Structure 1
Protein backbone atom coordinates (compact mmCIF):
# COMPACT_ATOMS: atom_id res chain seq x y z
CA UNK A 1 0.00 0.00 0.00
CA UNK A 2 1.29 3.45 -0.83
CA UNK A 3 0.34 4.65 2.66
CA UNK A 4 2.65 2.23 4.46
CA UNK A 5 5.61 3.74 6.28
CA UNK A 6 8.50 1.36 6.81
CA UNK A 7 11.11 1.82 9.57
CA UNK A 8 9.28 4.67 11.26
CA UNK A 9 10.89 5.49 14.62
CA UNK A 10 8.30 5.72 17.38
CA UNK A 11 8.65 6.50 21.06
CA UNK A 12 5.51 4.61 22.10
CA UNK A 13 5.95 3.16 25.58
CA UNK A 14 5.51 -0.52 24.82
CA UNK A 15 7.11 -3.68 26.20
CA UNK A 16 7.21 -4.77 22.58
CA UNK A 17 10.61 -3.10 22.23
CA UNK A 18 12.15 -5.75 24.47
CA UNK A 19 10.53 -8.60 22.53
CA UNK A 20 11.70 -7.18 19.22
CA UNK A 21 15.30 -7.06 20.43
CA UNK A 22 15.19 -10.83 20.82
CA UNK A 23 13.19 -12.02 17.79
CA UNK A 24 12.39 -10.57 14.33
CA UNK A 25 9.31 -8.42 14.81
CA UNK A 26 6.95 -5.88 13.30
CA UNK A 27 4.87 -3.21 15.00
CA UNK A 28 2.25 -1.20 13.19
CA UNK A 29 -0.50 1.28 13.84
CA UNK A 30 -3.92 1.47 12.22
CA UNK A 31 -5.21 5.02 11.92
CA UNK A 32 -8.59 5.21 13.64
CA UNK A 33 -9.19 8.95 13.78
CA UNK A 34 -12.00 10.70 11.94
CA UNK A 35 -12.82 14.35 12.62
CA UNK A 36 -16.25 14.06 10.98
CA UNK A 37 -17.23 11.46 13.61
CA UNK A 38 -15.48 13.33 16.45
CA UNK A 39 -13.14 10.37 16.73
CA UNK A 40 -9.98 12.45 16.91
CA UNK A 41 -9.21 12.68 20.61
CA UNK A 42 -5.99 11.19 22.01
CA UNK A 43 -5.78 8.02 24.07
CA UNK A 44 -6.78 8.45 27.73
CA UNK A 45 -8.98 11.45 26.86
CA UNK A 46 -12.54 11.04 28.21
CA UNK A 47 -13.96 11.54 24.69
CA UNK A 48 -11.56 9.11 22.99
CA UNK A 49 -13.32 7.11 20.31
CA UNK A 50 -12.40 5.36 17.08
CA UNK A 51 -13.81 5.25 13.59
CA UNK A 52 -14.97 1.63 13.53
CA UNK A 53 -14.66 1.60 9.72
CA UNK A 54 -10.92 1.17 10.34
CA UNK A 55 -11.40 -2.18 12.13
CA UNK A 56 -11.66 -4.30 8.95
CA UNK A 57 -8.37 -2.75 7.78
CA UNK A 58 -6.65 -3.83 10.98
CA UNK A 59 -8.11 -7.33 10.74
CA UNK A 60 -6.95 -7.63 7.13
CA UNK A 61 -3.44 -6.52 8.09
CA UNK A 62 -3.27 -9.23 10.75
CA UNK A 63 -4.65 -11.89 8.42
CA UNK A 64 -2.23 -11.00 5.61
CA UNK A 65 0.66 -11.16 8.07
CA UNK A 66 -0.37 -14.62 9.25
CA UNK A 67 -0.94 -15.87 5.69
CA UNK A 68 2.45 -14.55 4.56
CA UNK A 69 4.16 -16.23 7.51
CA UNK A 70 2.40 -19.56 7.01
CA UNK A 71 3.01 -19.60 3.25
CA UNK A 72 6.73 -18.82 3.30
Structure 2
Protein backbone atom coordinates (compact mmCIF):
# COMPACT_ATOMS: atom_id res chain seq x y z
CA UNK A 1 0.00 0.00 0.00
CA UNK A 2 1.36 3.41 -1.02
CA UNK A 3 0.88 6.24 1.51
CA UNK A 4 -0.65 9.50 0.33
CA UNK A 5 2.06 12.03 -0.42
CA UNK A 6 -0.05 15.17 -0.10
CA UNK A 7 -2.43 14.08 2.62
CA UNK A 8 -6.12 14.81 2.70
CA UNK A 9 -7.38 18.37 3.00
CA UNK A 10 -8.86 19.19 6.32
CA UNK A 11 -8.16 20.81 9.61
CA UNK A 12 -5.83 23.80 9.20
CA UNK A 13 -6.22 24.09 5.42
CA UNK A 14 -10.00 24.27 5.50
CA UNK A 15 -9.90 26.62 8.48
CA UNK A 16 -7.65 29.08 6.61
CA UNK A 17 -9.76 28.93 3.44
CA UNK A 18 -12.93 29.41 5.48
CA UNK A 19 -11.48 32.40 7.31
CA UNK A 20 -10.43 34.01 4.03
CA UNK A 21 -13.93 33.62 2.58
CA UNK A 22 -15.45 34.92 5.83
CA UNK A 23 -13.15 37.94 6.27
CA UNK A 24 -12.87 39.03 2.61
CA UNK A 25 -16.45 40.42 2.33
CA UNK A 26 -15.99 42.53 5.46
CA UNK A 27 -12.66 43.92 4.27
CA UNK A 28 -14.07 44.80 0.85
CA UNK A 29 -17.18 46.39 2.36
CA UNK A 30 -15.10 48.43 4.81
CA UNK A 31 -12.84 49.71 2.03
CA UNK A 32 -15.80 50.66 -0.17
CA UNK A 33 -17.56 52.41 2.72
CA UNK A 34 -14.52 54.45 3.79
CA UNK A 35 -13.70 55.35 0.19
CA UNK A 36 -17.27 56.44 -0.53
CA UNK A 37 -17.46 58.48 2.69
CA UNK A 38 -14.15 60.18 1.89
CA UNK A 39 -15.47 61.10 -1.55
CA UNK A 40 -18.73 62.45 -0.11
CA UNK A 41 -21.04 59.83 -1.64
CA UNK A 42 -24.48 59.78 -0.01
CA UNK A 43 -24.92 56.09 -0.87
CA UNK A 44 -21.82 54.82 0.94
CA UNK A 45 -23.75 52.34 3.09
CA UNK A 46 -25.59 50.99 0.04
CA UNK A 47 -22.37 50.36 -1.84
CA UNK A 48 -20.76 48.72 1.19
CA UNK A 49 -23.75 46.42 1.70
CA UNK A 50 -23.92 45.59 -2.00
CA UNK A 51 -20.23 44.71 -2.28
CA UNK A 52 -19.99 42.90 1.06
CA UNK A 53 -23.28 41.06 0.71
CA UNK A 54 -22.70 39.92 -2.84
CA UNK A 55 -19.16 38.84 -2.01
CA UNK A 56 -20.42 36.79 0.93
CA UNK A 57 -23.34 35.25 -0.96
CA UNK A 58 -21.94 34.70 -4.44
CA UNK A 59 -18.24 35.55 -4.47
CA UNK A 60 -18.04 36.71 -8.09
CA UNK A 61 -21.00 39.07 -7.74
CA UNK A 62 -19.13 41.05 -5.12
CA UNK A 63 -16.21 41.66 -7.41
CA UNK A 64 -18.63 42.71 -10.13
CA UNK A 65 -20.29 45.19 -7.72
CA UNK A 66 -16.84 46.46 -6.73
CA UNK A 67 -15.97 47.02 -10.39
CA UNK A 68 -19.23 48.94 -10.91
CA UNK A 69 -18.53 51.06 -7.81
CA UNK A 70 -15.01 51.90 -8.98
CA UNK A 71 -16.30 52.71 -12.48
CA UNK A 72 -19.03 55.09 -11.29
CA UNK A 73 -17.25 56.81 -8.39
CA UNK A 74 -15.68 59.64 -10.41
TM-score, structure 1 normalization? 0.31
Higher helix share: 2
TM-score, structure 2 normalization? 0.30
| Greater RCO (CA < 8 Å, at least 6 residues apart) | 2
